[in-house]
A and B are shown apart, each in its own frame.
Chain A
Amino acid sequence: MAVAGSVKMALQVAEVLEAIVSRCVGPEGRQVLCTKPTGEVLLSRDGGRVLEALHLDHPIARIIVACVSSHLRKTGDGAKTFIIFLCHLLRGLLAITEKEKDSLTLENIQTFERRWKNCCQWKCISQALVTFQTQILDYIIDEYLSRHFLSIFSSSAKERTLCRSSLELLLEAYFCGRVGRNNRKLISQLMCDYFFKCMTSESGMEVFELVDNCFVELNVSVTGLPVSDSRIIDGLVLHRDFSVYCPADGDIRVAIVREIIQPVFSTYRSEFVLNSETQFQTSQIWIMERTKSIMKHLLSQNVKLLLSSVKQPDLVIYYARLSGISVVDCLSSEEISLIQRIIGLSPFVLSQASLQCEISDTASVKFCKPFILRSKTYVHLGLISTCTFIPHCIILCGPVQGLVEQHENALYGAFKMLQQLFKDFDLNYIKKANNQNDTLSPPIYKNSGKNNQLPKSYTHSIQRPYQDTDIKNNDELEETQYLKVHSNLVVSNVELETYIPCSPPKMIPTDAVQTDETWRCLPLENNRVIDDYELLIESNSASNSITENTRIEISYENFQVIDIAEKRSMLPVKYKSVDTYKSQSFCSSSIPAGCVLPVGGSFEILLHYYLLNYAKKCQQLDEIIVSKLIANALLGIPKILYKPKKGNHSFPQIYLRALHTLQTNQPMVSSWAGLESVIGKYYLLTSVLQCLTKILTIDLVINIKRQPQKNSDQDSEDELQH
């Protein structure tokens, strides 16, 4: 069975999701209880989890959920806002088409044809969305929005220092949306403490990465105790008990082992031939002696603690106890690797040949003792860190497992959010010149250096020191950076070293490479737009908008040309980049790390305002439509946030006041205490637009009866699409 994909259907689905999600959003939001077929109970305010727990059947709903999940994996925040925003966008889109419906029915074309047209129309819109996302958004953020940004760093002369109170505000606002009302203060305080305890002054991104990778190992969950018993403790808590515990003090050295210390009769793929009983006995004695000597050797190196990833046999345990060495075995490989990362110690290898084993290195620990939590014993290690991460553990308590898990997830999400916030983010766009002809020249469209689609490593590589955020004046940096962007987009991993100018490849926008259908469709759309918004200047005719549309196609073609050219030589690429930079006012800026805005819809209202302003000045039809559409949809989020507020704090009041302050150039005042990350919002916006584009480009939903096949990612991907 096949169903035509339509915006209407998507809107219906999104509205159902919105209804669920909108009750959990914001500081007044409430909890959702999810039960699993196994009987487990999960509490959540995390939109992503709620959506996944619903196990939605509807194909469009599944696309939306998949988009939300991938967004969450990246940023750890904003699932609920995602749905609300998407819903408003769809609503706005539908409203535009509703108005136009009359004209369509008057035409009296056949159903198939009409649907075809519809599809093309959606496609055009989705293309316009892509254009918006890649070009206009960055421009507006850099040009207008950035002046409102606050920073969580107190910017003193050279060093940037993290301002604790700002971080507190940021985290509190974050946890407002993620944990229950009565625990948010406690959890955000816990997170804040943890953050400052783990960080040294020179800690950087690697701490975030470490916490991100080893989050499970860094916290211990305890059920049955009140949440208020949660705390942070110094050192690392291993989720194991000692096999042997010998109290020790003074200089305690630790060694890590990944294999069984006791020698065995035969190793893998070898054979041990026993010829006599005495041989057996002597070999057993040898094994004992060898184990003993290894332990003695360890002791002579002052090793008092042995961490093992495998279970050590009785014999080893016995000799360890005799030598006064504490043993913790059966550690998970994640725990071992975390310890290795913190103390920079590699496991020692036992050589089979010589009796004297080589212990490459050992590390010191401050203490090592049993740690009893709710009648379960853990190992508590005071590791001396060699990296910038100072090990601390979070102990999360709660009356039920579901609640503890919720807090754990919220903390994890908060780390993700901070991780994004602490990176600079590059914005690349074209500063539109007033001359309209300029916009028609092709290279512009390749300049839409879309950073968020680049591989992660790339974003790292071009991270510059904080001080040079304002690089517009710095020509050299500009150029090199542009080259990098370019090479990554098109050439991928080709190092550009030489710099030889060359003639540009011919890429003049000659004809449109479009199908007939599109052609037929376009004028219609244009008429509609003119009907709707009487903002257009007369000179902006239909032909103009057609070229506008063809440009995208051309720019794609350009990419291909570059690709081919690249294979022959790298020169054209280089030349073009220079050319672009010089002739077009190409701008590269960034959202510096730590940019925040007051919570409570500030970002949305600001962007709304500037988008409308932009739309007024803009002369291209679909840019106007799209900007207005997005601007209006953005307001949906503060509308929900301010729903419970009355009187002077109701949404219309807030909105009018905000508009007034913006028009009169006064600083914005927010009624909420709290901050939110700009980059998180930016990512959210782009993710939603991408999701919308995805939905709009679908014309037919085909239901496949056959069982989904396993072990094939391609298949599951298909399954989602249809």
Chain B
Amino acid sequence: MLSRLEAKKPSLCYSEPLTTEKVRATLSVLKGILTSCYGPSGRLKQLHNGMGGAVCTTSQSAVLLRNLSVTHPILKILTTSVQNHVSCFSDCGLFTAILCCNLIENVQKTDLTVTTTIKLNTHLLNFCTNYLRSEVCGCRIPVDFSNTPILLCLVRSILTSKPACMLTRKEIDHISVLILRAFLLTIPENTEDPIILGKSIIVPLKGQRVTDSTVLPGVLIEVSEVQLMKILLVRKSSPLKVVLFSTSLSGDFSDPGEGNVVVSDGVFLENAVLDQLINLGRQLVSDRVELVLCQKVIHPSLKQFLTTHQVIAIDRVGVMLMEPLSKVTGAQPIGSLGSISPGSYGSVKDWCSAKFGCKHFFHLIPNEATVSSLLLCNRSDTAWDELKTYEEPGSILQDDGCTQAELQLIAEAFCSALESLAGSLEHDGGEILIDMKYGHFWSIQAGPSSVVNWTDLLSRCGCGVYSSQEELGWSFLRSTCHPFVPQTCLPHESWEVSPQSAHSLTLDCLTAKLSGLQVAVETANLILDLAYVIEDKS
């Protein structure tokens, strides 16, 4: 034990943290908040601080959990684990959180010992993951990049589940197409192993119509209007020879070392450095470079020199753009003021000026590159913050409860949690049905429950793969149903059967969902396993 200057206060230690009423109450409040946000018909939450500050409207788990101040250590574990998951996959956060809450609540209702429940949970989790990963899993739809409609459905499903974006159906369609296009642009044309994805740069633009958003190949560099005017005076040729500097061209003195540097009287280092810069400029001009891009600052004299020689000079590009610029132009970032080897130069096809809203951009058009810029426009800050892009190649899982419903049939104790999760997708007070053939999820409007013919009421199942024409038997989700094996069907077949349903298909990313499922169960097990909480009060 080392000596401390400040004596530490003894910690507070209490046992069986989950049994206290307070924890249960907070847990159920949190669950209530989260469940009401879940799904395409989820409700928005407005978060504001009583002391002032911005008001935030959201239904996203990431934003919600970040802004909610949770004090109890157990809830803290839950929220951090969900946040960590979201930062990995940026999807399925609410799913994870709600499932975890449900598991904890349901286990507490049973009389089983913690040991048994944890063992069972782990076992069932393995069962589920094995099923979902296996080929027999009826709810997987493989995705390949040639099948754009399915990809589009995925992107759209994600966007629709974010009502705080305040997008109309048309706007969602527009944005989904853009996101998908931007993503597809990052895939290089000549595919070798391993595929190195390009990059799409998101350029935020506020106060514009959503439908003004667009995807442009190449890189957009924001410049001031005056600068752009100057650039426009320069004559154009194509393709342009480009040079990219990562070092500063401002003439500052490099690291003198640990000792002293003594400068004699009458020696002006500024002149010496400027001479060097101008020499560099001369070399650039003689090498017929037409565009100079610099991460840092270019000395005004050098800039002037370059402009007079019809060379466009753009400085303060910033470190974020350096990598995409290097990719687009093929130029190597230069870190020296000495002579430049010809291999470091790059080229672009063309450039043009662009004006979006009140901002001016210098647009570099590449010959062939995997870098694109996605201009995202939106009316308000909050709504823009809500817009996020995520593209995850891989297998896709049908969403909207179909899986949950299917899993529900696997085991009772564990899956009543999944069941109520699926149940929470219905917010309008309607009933939820499950069909006995595929185990998919159906939702009906609230109303007279004594309907004889379900087919009249139901048109399409939650994820839109099946329509009600098929001969299916339904039962209420919460009623006790006799176990059956979900019929395995090849998604392709049904896909081909009803191509027109492509518009309403709701999809979810399998990798994210699977990981979310695992994280939820692991976190729940962890919380259930707690015997003590020791709080350091100092």
Contact = CB atoms under 8 A, between A and B. Distances in A.
B84 A223 contact: yes
Given A43-B526, A274-B262, A399-B523, A32 B534 contact: yes
B5 A707 contact: yes
A522 to B, nearest CB: 36
A278 B271 CA distance: 10
B15 interface: yes
Given A710-B5, A712-B3, A50 B264 contact: no
B443 interface: no
Contacts of B268: 277
Contacts of A229: 515
Interface string A24-37: 10001111111111
A30 B526 CA distance: 9
A41 B3 contact: no
Nearest to B86: A224
A672 interface: no
A225 B13 contact: no
Contacts of B272: 277-278, 280-281
A617 to B, nearest CB: 43
Contacts of A66: 1
A10 interface: no
A62 B1 contact: yes
B519 A226 contact: yes
B483 interface: no
A322 B519 contact: no
A54 interface: yes
B336 A288 contact: yes
Contacts of A33: 17, 73-74, 77, 530, 532-534
B67 interface: no
B532 A23 contact: yes
B1 to A, nearest CB: 6
Q: Which of A33, A183, A319 has most B Cβ within 10 Å?
A: A33
A258 to B, nearest CB: 15
Contacts of B5: 707-708, 710
B526 A180 contact: yes
A318 B246 contact: yes
A53 B254 contact: no
B243 to A, nearest CB: 13
A28 B7 CA distance: 35
A132 B510 CA distance: 63
Contacts of B88: 224-225, 374-375
B334 interface: yes
A709 B335 contact: no
Nearest to A52: B1
Contacts of B378: none
Interface stretch (B114-122, B157-165, B445-453, B487-495): B114-122
Contacts of B261: 265-266, 271-272, 274
Given A35-B536, A266-B257, A224 B525 contact: no
B344 interface: yes
Given A30-B114, A226-B519, A41 B256 contact: no
A57 B8 CA distance: 8
Nearest to B88: A224
Nearest to A322: B341
A35 B8 CA distance: 14
B275 interface: yes
A182 B118 CA distance: 7
B332 A321 contact: yes
Interface residues of A, number: 85
B77 A41 contact: yes
Nearest to A32: B532
B1 A180 contact: no
Interface SS, A side: mixed
B9 interface: yes
A277 B77 contact: no
B52 interface: no
Interface SS, B side: mixed
A54 B267 contact: no
Contacts of B43: none
Given A53-B11, A322-B343, A266 B246 contact: no
A699 B523 CA distance: 48
Interface in A54-77: 54-57, 62, 65-66, 69
Q: Which of B261, B268, B271 has most A Cβ within 10 Å?
A: B261
A269 interface: yes
Contacts of A65: 1
Contact of A318 (B271, B333, B534): B333
B269 interface: yes
A41 B80 contact: yes
Q: Which of B5, B76, B119, B341 has most A Cβ within 10 Å?
A: B76
Contact of A399 (B258, B519, B536): B519
A363 interface: no
A31 B260 contact: no
B267 A277 contact: yes
Contacts of A214: none
A314 B255 contact: no
A35 B515 contact: no
Given A37-B538, A277-B272, A32 B530 contact: yes
B269 A280 contact: yes
B336 A319 contact: yes
A37 B536 contact: yes
A279 to B, nearest CB: 8
Nearest to B73: A35
A50 B533 CA distance: 10
B475 interface: no
Given A275-B267, A400-B81, A318 B526 contact: no
Contact of A20 (B4, B8, B13, B258): B13
A315 B336 contact: yes
Contacts of B4: 708, 710
Interface in B182-214: none
Interface in A1-39: 20, 23-24, 28-37, 39
Contacts of A710: 3-5
Q: Which of A228, A319, A711 has most B Cβ within 10 Å?
A: A228
Nearest to B270: A277
Interface string B494-538: 000000000000000000000100110011011001111111111
Given A55-B8, A224-B85, A265-B261, A313 B77 contact: no
Interface in B216-273: 246-247, 254-264, 267-269, 271-272
Interface string A260-293: 0000111111111111111011001100110000
B536 A55 contact: yes
B122 A322 contact: no
A400 B77 contact: yes
Contacts of A39: 76
Nearest to A19: B15
B2 interface: yes
A181 interface: yes
A318 B264 contact: no
Nearest to A51: B534
Contacts of B85: 224-225, 399
Contacts of B393: none
Interface string A306-350: 000000011111110110000000000000000000000000000
B276 interface: yes
Q: 7 closest A-B pairs (Cβ-Cβ)?
A: A264-B257, A318-B335, A266-B259, A224-B84, A226-B518, A314-B335, A399-B81
19 contacts: A23-B15, A32-B532, A62-B1, A180-B525, A181-B119, A228-B518, A268-B259, A271-B261, A272-B259, A272-B261, A274-B261, A280-B267, A281-B275, A284-B337, A285-B338, A314-B246, A400-B523, A403-B522, A709-B3
Given A272-B260, A277-B267, 4 more contacts: A20-B532, A43-B77, A272-B259, A315-B336
Interface of B: 1-5, 7-11, 13, 15, 17, 73-74, 76-77, 80-81, 84-89, 114-115, 118-119, 121-122, 246-247, 254-264, 267-269, 271-272, 275-276, 332-338, 341, 343-344, 515, 518-519, 522-523, 525-526, 529-538
